[in-house]
Amino acid sequence: MAELAGKVALITGAGSGIGRGIARVLAREGADLVLTDLDEGNVRGAAAELSATAMKHDVTSWESCRQVVADTLEAKGRIDVLVNNAGVSKSVPFHELDEAEWDRVNDVNLKGVFLTTRAVVPHMMERRSGRIISISSMVGKEAIPYFVHYCASKFGVIGLTQGLAKELAEYDITVNAVCPGVVRTPLWEPLLDQLSENKGISREEAWNEFIEGIPLRRPQEPEDIGEVVAFLASDRARNMTGQGVNVTGGMQMH
């Protein structure tokens, strides 16, 4: 089954972790992939593994988003699926959170979704078709302490998803979010350092604390997120829009 054969999919933050897992599943389903990332070396590696096209992309820059979309349209002629996956995180107690750190996280996680989507949408409107899928988080539905700026950015992604889903429905463009729970990617390594420092426990204790809170008692894999993205990108999900689909092993249920 190659459910996405003939579809062009652009995935941001695809050089690492979840983005790379999403790329693997979409490649398996036959999608023609454009993988973008701020880290050019990583995204070139991912693209080589999957016979995909790699592009350097800073989602916080309008000029970079505009250029990536223009280059993709020139190379492929169309964009059927946009996956907004690029993201950053950091654990900071609120009383130590400064403006620069607030802006850094919100610029990538929320403004980056806005800018990339804004660059792609006119093309999808013209074609009266498209799938926009953004990676939020379970903490985009129920916040946790020490990550207030990150949670706010991920709640923002859900709000953007819902509003845009209503606005673009008349063009038959669906807009959804996927909310992962706990996926051990490079994102987690500095987080575990910070959590262990903030809480006065070891890194593995901090990790196990998260795993113990998962009803299925295991973390999710990057490909678990990719499977849901592939479904949302497929014709089978044609009547789903404005949703935030949890992939959390039961940790988040609404």
Ligand X SMILES: NC(=O)c1ccc[n+]([C@@H]2O[C@H](COP(=O)([O-])OP(=O)(O)OC[C@H]3O[C@@H](n4cnc5c(N)ncnc54)[C@H](O)[C@@H]3O)[C@@H](O)[C@H]2O)c1
Query: Of 7 and 154, which CB lies nearer to ligand X in the complex structure?
Result: 154
CB 233 within 8 A of CB 173: no
Q: Contact positions toward ligand X, by CB under 6 A?
A: 12-13, 15-19, 37-39, 42, 57-60, 85-89, 108-109, 112, 135, 137, 180, 182-183, 185-188
CB of 235 to ligand X, least distance (A): 25
CB of 246 to ligand X, least distance (A): 10
Q: In angstroms, how far is CA 86 from the centroid of its own chain?
A: 6
CB of 7 to ligand X, least distance (A): 21
Q: Which residues contact 160 (CB under 8 A, 6 or more apart)?
A: 110, 113, 114, 117, 134
Q: Is 146 a catalytic residue?
A: no
Q: In this structure, what is the dihedral angle of CA atoms 134, 147, 60, 174, given to the nearest 10 degrees?
A: 10
CB 8 within 8 A of CB 26: no
Query: Of 33 and 135, which CB lies nearer to ligand X in the complex structure?
Result: 135
Secondary structure of residue 29 in the 3-state scheme? coil
Query: Of 10 and 18, which CB lies nearer to ligand X in the complex structure?
Result: 18
Query: Of 2 and 45, which CB lies nearer to ligand X in the complex structure?
Result: 45
CB 54 within 8 A of CB 35: yes
CB of 100 to ligand X, least distance (A): 15
Could you say which of 150, 155, 188, 231 is catalytic?
150
Bridge partners of residue 173, in order along the sequence: 130
C-alpha to C-alpha distance for 191 and 202, rounded to whole angstroms: 12
C-alpha to C-alpha distance for 224 and 25, rounded to whole angstroms: 9
Query: Of 71 and 172, which CB lies nearer to ligand X in the complex structure?
Result: 71
Tokens encoding 139? 């903490």
CB of 150 to ligand X, least distance (A): 7
Q: Show which residues are catalytic.
A: 150
